[in-house]
């Protein structure tokens, strides 16, 4: 058995570390003959960086078959290989000996290093604005919560300044987008020059910026910073030989006075910024409670959402996920819809965050799951060819409800296989700062789902913590590339680089990739060229009620020349801003 072992194996004297025997695999790897190897000590051919021979010998004697030692193997030709070593005490001809198993992991280390480099490149692309070079919204989402927590521990004050350029659209419309882009780069440089090195300047998108000031000593310090920014940006700028003048409106919110978390500080600084707009632009305003009409709107949404749960205003629509090559429908995504009796359809972004903050997301999630199971049973009874159905699960729902137990009960009750369900988790909601005990709870919940056979997908991949460690730990089945990267895929080289890197990384990890938000043929063709297997978007079909989804469940390829006659009402109803009327 020793001679036939497929990887390297040695027998070593535990006291002198003299090599007593080596199998053919070890001799081939080392490049020595058996006689030459027997003349060597173990420490002549194996080393650990930064560990001397005596300490290495001690580690070797203490090692077991369960615990591995990572070492460098020095071959006869001078080359080095990365190896993992396991040891087992044994008796040979009545004498103590060490059996040493050597596994060459050089190729694996190269692949891991390559993946890590691609991941770091992807992380930099995803967290920095390609136009200005500033950190972007995703960077702020990743770093502001930590800065708030540090300020909480230090008892210090942190300020968030929300900047919006005044009449920037006029510059774009009159001078062109190229001039507008150059103006934005100049604005970014001027704002950066007005603050301290430790302060963060973030481009949120468009003509919006956020400045994060740490260790604020007084309100006057914040006022002075905001005033410097106003003055710096109101000075004329020369772009392409032309003089342009732009100004900025600034809203300020301070921790802990104006908010206890990132969401509150951004909302309140945004509210204060609009107050600055109302007061003539080119000024700054500090948040005050009297400004916050949005708090009243949130209360109105919460009240109406509770009524919606009990009065049948919520519904589940489905959008197909298509195989890019065959055009067959391989899955459906369940999407929550809320039709208010007075205000029509309300967009999910208007109420989902409120539902999460109030805990209403748990009963809403229960409703969605029950609806999916009921619709699946109805499709089966109608003779449809079933495909898996994916649905979103928030971090709150994952932590507060026993989702695995609920799925097991419902699937058994209705004779549905759990493998016909796929849970979609967002990086920002589930992975962000989950290393604490709650992260363990989330991981246990996902593990319980996997044991049932439920598939796991990461939704909006690329906009949060796209971590290789998380993908490995959570044993992910699929990644859904966020629509923000797909939208300008054909024209934006940075988006192309990000999408290409995601697809390449997923292939290495044997994870399926779904591109969201496909609306044009050029996007679809580019994704096909990049090797993306699955896609979803309005190009193929709009979300539709369960009764209109039979056409996707006939086992035939999707006819992309025909459009679904049932339009998603959200396209025609606005954003739900009329909820402000409920405040009265």
Ordered by start, the domain boundaries in the chain are: 8-104, 127-291, 313-583
Q: Is 385 in contact with 554 (CB distance < 8 Å)? A: yes
pLDDT in tens, 366-395: 999 999 999 999 999 999 999 999 999 987
The pLDDT of residue 106 is 83
- The arithmetic mean of pLDDT across residues 555-575, rounded, is 56
CA pair distance 91, 367, nearest whole angstrom = 65
Q: What is the pLDDT of residues 58-76, one digit of tens each?
A: 877 776 656 778 889 999 9
Q: State the pLDDT confidence band at 563, using cuts at 50, 70 and 90.
A: low
Residue 432 pLDDT greater than 50, yes or no: no
Longest dimension (CA), the chain: 95
Task: List Cα–Cα distances, 420 to 2, 82, 362, in angstroms.
Answer: 47, 42, 21
pLDDT at site 253: 97
Give the DSSP H/E element, type plus range, for residue 141.
helix 137-154
User: Which of 213-217, 472-476, 580-584 holds the top average pLDDT?
Assistant: 213-217
Looking at residue 523, its pLDDT comes to: 92
- 429 has a pLDDT exceeding 60: no
**Model confidence band, residue 214 (pLDDT cutoffs 50, 70, 90):** very high
pLDDT at residue 577, rounded to an integer: 45
Q: Decide if pLDDT at 247 tops 70.
A: yes
What pLDDT, in 10s, does the model give residues 170-194?
788 778 889 999 999 999 999 999 9
CB count within 10 Å of CB 541 equals 26
Contacts of 241 (CB under 8 A, 6+ apart): none
For the chain, the distance separating the N- and C-terminal CA atoms, rounded to the nearest angstrom, is 83
DSSP 8-state code for residue 329: E
Lowest mean pLDDT among 71-80, 241-250, 575-584: 575-584
Q: Lowest-confidence range among 8-17, 243-252, 411-420, 469-478?
A: 469-478
* Whether residue 221 has a cis bond before it, omega within 30° of 0: no
Which range, of 173-177, 298-302, 430-434, 483-487, averages the lowest pLDDT? 430-434
**What local confidence, expressed as pLDDT, does residue 571 receive?**
41
Q: What is the mean pLDDT of residues 37-50?
A: 88
What's the predicted TM-score (pTM) here? 0.54
For range 98-119, the mean pLDDT: 83
Confidence of residue 564 (pLDDT cuts 50, 70, 90): very low
Mean pLDDT of the chain: 86
Q: What does the pLDDT average to over 208-216?
A: 96
pLDDT of residue 299: 80
| Integer Cα distance of 535 and 117 in angstroms | 27
Q: Would you place residue 94 in the very low, low, confident or very high pLDDT band (cuts 50, 70, 90)? A: confident
Asked whether the predicted pLDDT for residue 2 surpasses 90, the reply is no
Residue 161 and residue 100: Cα distance in Å, rounded?
61
Integer angstrom CA distances of residue 143 from 135, 137, 146, 299, 394: 10, 10, 5, 28, 21
Domain range 127-291, CATH class: alpha beta
| Per-residue confidence (pLDDT) for residue 431, from 0 to 100 | 52
* pLDDT band, residue 443 (cuts 50/70/90): low
Q: Which has more confidence, 583 or 253? A: 253
Q: What is the pLDDT of residue 93?
A: 80
Query: What is the rounded CA–CA span in Å between residue 87 and residue 156?
Result: 53
Sheet arrangement for strand 46-47? 19-22, 8-12, 95-104, 80-92, 69-74, 46-47
Among 6-10, 13-17, 28-32, 147-151, name the most confident range: 147-151
- For 415, the 3-state DSSP assignment is coil
Q: Compute φ and ψ for 333, nearest 5 degrees.
A: -105, 130
pLDDT at residue 152, as a whole number: 95
Average pLDDT value for residue range 550-555? 89
Segment 292-327, tens digit of pLDDT: 776 677 788 889 999 999 999 999 999 999 999 999
To the question of domain 8-104 being in CATH 3.30.450.20, the answer is yes
* pLDDT of the residue at 503: 92
In terms of DSSP H, where are the helices of 155-292? 168-175, 177-194, 219-234, 262-278
pLDDT surpasses 50 at 340: yes
- 287 — pLDDT class (breaks 50, 70, 90): very high
User: Residue 447's pLDDT band (boundaries 50, 70, 90)?
Assistant: confident
Beta bridge partners of 544: 318
What ranges make up the beta strands (E) of 222-373?
Answer: 237-239, 242-244, 248-255, 284-286, 314-323, 329-340, 344-346
With bands split at pLDDT 50, 70 and 90, how would you rate the model's confidence at 427? low
Q: pLDDT category, 583, cuts 50, 70, 90?
A: very low
- What band does 580 get if pLDDT is binned at 50, 70 and 90? very low
For residue 166, the 8-state DSSP code is T
CA 367/CA 309 separation, integer angstroms: 9
Mean local confidence (pLDDT), 325-343 = 93
pLDDT at 470: 65
At residue 1, the pLDDT reads 60
Query: Which tokens hold the place of 423?
Result: 């849970």
Percentage of the chain modeled with pLDDT above 90: 51
439 band by pLDDT with thresholds 50, 70 and 90: very low
570 falls in which pLDDT band (50, 70, 90)? very low
pLDDT-above-70 percentage for the chain: 90
CB atoms within 10 A of CB 70: 12
What CATH number does the domain located at 313-583 have?
A: 3.20.20.450
Q: What's the confidence (pLDDT) of residue 295?
A: 61
Q: What confidence category does residue 441 fall into, taking pLDDT thresholds of 50, 70 and 90?
A: low
Predicted confidence band of residue 89 (pLDDT cuts 50, 70, 90): confident
Mean pLDDT of 215-240: 94
Domains 8-104 and 313-583 share a fold: no
Residues 413-422: b if buried by 16+ CB within 10 A, e if exposed = eeebebebbb
């Amino acid at each position: 058995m020793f001679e036939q072992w497929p990887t390297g194996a040695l027998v070593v004297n535990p006291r002198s570390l003299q090599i007593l025997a080596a199998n053919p695999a070890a001799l081939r790897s080392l490049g020595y003959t058996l006689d030459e190897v027997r003349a060597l000590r173990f420490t002549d051919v194996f080393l650990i960086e930064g560990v001397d021979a005596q300490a290495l010998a001690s580690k070797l004697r203490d090692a077991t078959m369960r615990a591995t030692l990572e070492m460098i193997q020095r071959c006869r030709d001078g080359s080095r290989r990365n190896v993992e070593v396991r040891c087992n005490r044994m008796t040979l001809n009545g004498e103590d000996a060490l059996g040493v198993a050597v596994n060459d992991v050089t190729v694996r280390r190269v692949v891991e290093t390559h993946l890590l480099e691609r991941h770091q490149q992807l992380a930099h692309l995803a967290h920095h604005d390609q136009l200005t070079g500033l950190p972007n919204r995703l960077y702020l989402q990743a770093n502001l919560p930590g800065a708030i927590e540090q300020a909480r521990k230090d008892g210090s004050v942190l300020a968030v300044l929300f900047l919006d350029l005044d009449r920037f659209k006029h510059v774009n419309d009159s001078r062109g987008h190229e001039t507008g882009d150059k103006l934005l780069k100049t604005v970014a440089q001027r704002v950066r020059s007005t603050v301290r090195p430790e302060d963060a300047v973030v481009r949120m998108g468009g003509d919006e910026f956020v400045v994060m000031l740490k260790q604020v000593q007084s309100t006057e310090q914040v006022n002075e910073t905001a005033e410097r920014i106003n003055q710096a940006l109101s000075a004329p700028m020369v772009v392409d030989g032309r003089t342009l003048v732009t100004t900025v409106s600034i809203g300020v919110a301070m921790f802990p006075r104006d908010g206890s978390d990132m969401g509150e500080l951004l909302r309140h600084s945004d509210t204060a910024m609009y107050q600055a707009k109302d007061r003539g632009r080119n000024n700054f305003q500090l948040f005050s409670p009297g400004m916050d009409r949005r708090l009243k709107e949130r209360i109105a949404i919460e009240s109406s959402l509770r009524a919606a749960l009990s009065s049948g205003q919520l519904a589940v629509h489905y959008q197909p996920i298509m195989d890019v090559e065959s055009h067959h429908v391989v899955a459906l995504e369940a999407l929550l819809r809320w039709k208010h009796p007075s205000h029509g359809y309300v967009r999910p972004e208007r109420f989902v965050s409120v539902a999460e903050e109030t805990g209403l997301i748990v009963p809403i999630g229960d409703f969605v799951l029950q609806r999916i199971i009921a619709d699946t049973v109805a499709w089966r009874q109608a003779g449809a060819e079933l495909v898996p159905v994916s649905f979103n699960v928030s971090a709150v729902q994952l932590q507060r409800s026993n989702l695995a137990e609920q799925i097991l009960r419902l699937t058994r009750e209705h004779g549905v296989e759990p493998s016909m369900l796929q849970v979609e988790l967002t990086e920002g909601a589930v992975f962000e700062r989950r290393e604490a005990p709650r992260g363990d709870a989330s991981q246990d919940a996902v593990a319980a789902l996997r044991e049932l056979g439920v598939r796991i997908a990461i939704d909006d991949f690329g906009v949060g913590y796209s971590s290789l460690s998380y993908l490995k730990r959570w044993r992910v089945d699929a990644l859904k590339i966020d629509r923000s990267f797909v939208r300008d895929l054909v024209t934006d080289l940075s988006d192309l680089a990000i999408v290409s890197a995601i697809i390449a990384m997923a292939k290495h990890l044997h994870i399926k990739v779904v591109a969201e938000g496909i609306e044009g043929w050029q996007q679809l063709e580019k994704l096909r060229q990049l090797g993306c297997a699955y896609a979803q978007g309005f190009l193929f079909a709009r979300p539709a009620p369960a009764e209109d989804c039979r056409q996707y469940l006939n086992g035939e390829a999707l006819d992309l020349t025909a459009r679904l006659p049932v339009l998603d009402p959200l396209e025609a109803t606005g954003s739900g801003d009329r909820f402000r009327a409920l405040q009265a």
